[in-house]
Amino acid sequence: MRTVILSVILLTFWSSSVLAEHKRLEKEYQQDWCAEARGQAEIRLADGTRADCITRTHAIEFDFGRKWAESIGQALYYSMQTGKRAGVVLILERIEDRKFWIRLNSIIEFQKLPIDTWKIENFQIP
């Protein structure tokens, strides 16, 4: 019983800390953007992994700004699994997150990676 109570407390703390760190959940951004792009969110791929969004032309990874580097590998993997062009939607919730957008696009351009990018900016400009 103690283990169950401790697990519930830890899960509650973890959930509230995730929400406190971000304005919205990644999944909420993903669902809204994917629906607007006429795609399908959370598509299970042949190997059992899930792509964040699949559109007619793209296999897309969503990530918050600081995870820009991870998004490259995920997008390329989704592309390999689906035969669609790779895409990344980077979520920027603070004006300071723009540096991650620059990093993402700089490496894609420098390495000539076949990845298209979009951003969601959810912050107020002072």
pLDDT at 39: 96
Question: Does residue 60 sit within a domain?
Answer: yes
**Domain encompassing residue 29:** 23-121
How many folded domains does the chain comprise? 1
Question: Does residue 13 sit within a domain?
Answer: no
End-to-end CA distance of the chain: 50
Residues 51-92: pLDDT tens digits? Answer: 999 999 999 999 999 999 999 999 999 999 999 999 999 999
Question: Does residue 34 sit within a domain?
Answer: yes
Question: Does residue 7 sit within a domain?
Answer: no
Query: Has residue 124 got a pLDDT over 90?
Result: no
Residues 37-54: pLDDT tens digits? Answer: 999 999 999 999 999 999
**In the structure encoding, which two tokens stand for residue 47, read together?**
């190997």
Question: Does residue 106 sit within a domain?
Answer: yes
* 119, 94 contact by CB (below 8 A): no
The single-letter DSSP state of residue 45 is P
